[in-house]
Structure formats: structure tokens, C-alpha cells
Amino acid sequence: ILTGLFIGHKNARTDSAATLRHLIDFGNTDSLVTAINLLPAPALYNVLRADSNWLSARPVWAAGARGLPHSSMLLVLGQNRDLLRDYSFLDSLARALRITNSERDSFYALAPVTGRRTLLTEAIIKLGRDMDEEANLAMMALKSPADTAVAPDNGIGAGVCTDTASIYYSIDTNTIYYGRDSIDGWLRRTEKMGAVYARAGYWYNMGNYSRADSLIQATDSLVVRYGADTTEKNDYKALWSALYTAAAAGRGVMHLQANEIAMLDTTAPTSLYHTAARMIMRSTGASVLDPIIPHISGDCLFPGLSVGKGTNAGNNSPGGSFEGASAAWDGTIFSAYPNPATGKVTFTYRLPANAEGIHIVVTTILGSKLADWQTSEPMGSVQWETQNLPAGIYIYQATGSGGIISTGKIVLVK
């Protein structure tokens, strides 16, 4: 879109800056850098101003390299105080742009003021460690009242199964498999406002935006019944309004446009970061509810199968093939087993004979890589040492020559 916009308007690039502002989102640095590299220097500030308060270091460097006027660069830095907390970045930029010592000192004075990007990032990290009440909510929602013999954790892993068609799920360790059953019915039995938000998140991720919207709109009448927090409810409704608009245009939660971010800023700037972080975690794979609320395409999320843990009251457990699974299952098996006693997580795998190997990556919920293994062996295991890591949620993904084998998260509780 960006390339076509500028190639098609070679003689009117400056005039296109206003249009471009509505194509840039705070989470899409690549789009912004692409725009910067195409625009002439006089138009750069208008584009950067559209993402005011949400810029990362990369587009600022790109703008400097493209010849953003000195005075405009100083304004951009003043609007993005998160960048001023990185003294190394600021010193390097000051040398490159010949910012005077007095000007640099004035930015140092602003650095202790926490910017919006930092507030949102810190909220996401905090939620990853605290897990809020949603882990318990998911456990209780998944535990079938008709099958009380199912334990949330059988000592091997955190496998939980429903009593409907022996569908298995995992809360926090092993991704099991996703059949046609919906978690919505289980959440509906949980008399909490959090379950209403979770149901809205479920239908949002399933692409049923009208149903998600009806759930969010119903929260007004449920505040008293559930003893819910009115401020949080209003925050959810404000954020949902932006998400609903973005979804209708084919954009996700990390692709909100500048005007939508501005609307959220004016709604409830103090508490909205916490609420936004909760919804972002639900929608991007970092939530404690995400293994239950996956981005499903077809009947099965993954081409392979992860070994299930636990059985239901009928002593049924998932086998090599099952209703609702991909018909193309090729015998691949993958499991992730955390052992709190040793502080290690063991990833075990078995691949088909013709497989070219496996690649396992572990990251933080914000995407920072912590561990990376790649092997051509058809079967085996690797161990991830976690003793020196803080408590929190960590994401793993295993890929093979045929694509994603399994993905999920490890929850470290210390």
C-alpha cells in the first residue's frame, strides 16, 4: 500500500503526507520506516507527528538519515520522551545531528517523565508476571461440572480436558490440540465480569465481531450484578470501540491508527494502559487465555500434534488421530515439560523420517529471544535453563520443514 501510494504520486509526495498519517500505526515500525525512506525531508515531520508519543528509536534514526531538519528532530524527541530515557541512544543521536550540549541537557531533564509507550510496555510486562485473575478464571471455566474427576494438573503437565468428545486443552505448558468445541460455553457458566470480557475476546479472535460487540455492550447492565469495576468496564468499552472500528477495516489490535490512539488517550489515560495491555495480550498470543482462544484457521490450529496429558472420566485420551484434528497429521509429536524442581524445561520431539529437522525458539511475551535450538535429528530433546529468569510468561514455538509444529507458553512461578 505504502509503495503504491508514493510511486503513484511521484509529483505529489508532500501532499500525500496527510493521507499517509492514517496508514501509520504505532505498532508497525516497518511501515513507518518505509514511509520515511520514500518521503522528502520537508514532509517527514508531519508523518512523525502522526505517531507522536509512540515512536521507537528506529524511525527516528531513519528520519535523521533522510535529512529531517534539526529543529524538527528536536520537536520529535520532545514528543517521544520514552526515547530520552535511553541515554546511549540520545548521545549517539546528538553526535550524529550535532545537537548542542545545552539542548541535550534539556532533554535529560525531561527523561524522568514516563511516556505512553513505556507505560503500555510496562503494563504488558506486569500482566505477564502477575497473570491477574485470568489463570484461575480459565481453569474454572474449563473444568467441566459433569466431569469432576478431571484435575487441572495431573503432575505431568497442565493438560485439561472437557467431557465433550474428549477435547483436550492446555492452560500454561503444553499446547495440546484444538477441536471444534468452543470455550464460550464454559466461560458463560462463570459468573464474573472477567468471563464476559474473555468471551468477547474469544469471539473477537474468531472473527465474529458483531457477537463480541453485543457482549461488550451488555456489560453496562452487568456491573451491579457482578460487582464489577465501572472504570475498567468503561475502559474496555472505549478500547473495544477502537478495536471494532479497526477490525471492520481489516486491522488488528497492534495496528491502531493515530486517530484511534488519540481517542484512547483522551478517554481514560490513567487506567487505560492496564486495560489495553490485557486486551493486547489476549489478541497476540501472550495471554493466559490465548491457548484456549487461538487464532484458528480451519479445524485445527497446527499441522502436528502435541502429546496430551490427563484423561477424562471415561479414561479417554487423545491418540494419533482424532475427530477435529488435521487429516494431514504426519506423526509429528512435540511436548514441553517444565520441572520446577530442577528449574529446567524439557522440549521433546519426534519427527517423520523425511523431516529436515526442527527449530525451537523461546521468547519473552514482547518477542525478545531467550533461547534458540536447531537440529536435524529426527527425534530427541533439548533443555531450557530457567533458574536465573524472573517469574512470568514465556512463549515457545517449534517449526519444521512443513511449517509450525507447535507453539505455546511456559509460565514460571517463583
d(CA 66, CA 32): 13
Question: Domain check: are 39 and 161 in the same one?
Answer: no
Is residue 84 within 8 A of residue 111, CB to CB? The reply is yes
User: Does residue 258 lie within any of the structural domains?
Assistant: yes
Task: Select from 18, 10, 19, 62 the least CA-distant residue to 41.
Answer: 62
58 or 302, higher pLDDT: 58
Question: Cα–Cα distance between 338 and 413 in angstroms, integer?
Answer: 11
For the residues 52-77, what does the mean pLDDT come to?
A: 79
* Statement to judge: residues 251 and 330 lie in one domain: no
Q: Please indicate, yes or no, if residue 329 is contained in any of the structural domains.
A: yes
Residue type, 241: S
> Are 141 and 185 in a shared domain?
yes
- My answer on whether 132 and 195 are in the same domain is yes
Domain boundary among 113, 139, 160: 113
Angle formed by the axes of helices 41-50 and 57-65, nearest 10° = 170
Q: Find the domain containing 338 and state its range.
A: 318-412
Structural domain contains residue 60: yes
**163 and 63, same structural domain?**
no
User: Quick one: pLDDT at residue 51?
Assistant: 53
Query: What is the spatial distance between Cα 209 and Cα 248, in angstroms, rounded to a whole number?
Result: 8
Least confident window among 19-23, 67-71, 323-327, 369-373: 323-327
Do 38 and 82 lie in a common domain? yes
Asked if 40 and 136 sit in the same domain, the reply is: no
Q: Give the three cell numbers for residue 171.
A: 492452560
Counting residues of the chain whose pLDDT is more than 90, the rounded percentage is 4
In total, how many domains does the chain have? 3
Which pLDDT score is estimated for 10? 36
pLDDT, tens digit (0-9, with 9 covering 90-100), for 130-145: 433 444 334 333 333 3
Grid coordinates given for 343: 528449574
219 shares a domain with 104: no
Boundary of a domain, candidates 113, 136, 171: 113
Average pLDDT, the chain: 61
Q: Is residue 118 in some structural domain?
A: no
Q: Is the domain of 85 the same as that of 200?
A: no
Question: pLDDT digits over 280-309, tens only?
Answer: 444 433 333 333 333 222 222 222 223 333
105 and 232 share one domain: no
Contacts 24+ apart (CB under 8 A), 268-272: 268/231, 268/234, 268/235, 268/238, 271/231, 271/232, 271/235, 272/235, 272/238, 272/239
- Read off the pLDDT of each residue in 195-219 and give the average, rounded to a whole number: 80
pLDDT at 122: 61
Considering the domain architecture, whether residues 146 and 257 belong to the same structural domain is answered as yes
Q: How buried is residue 136: exposed, middle or buried, by Cβ count under 10 Å (0-12/13-18/19+)? A: middle
Rounded CA separation 73/136 (Å) = 48
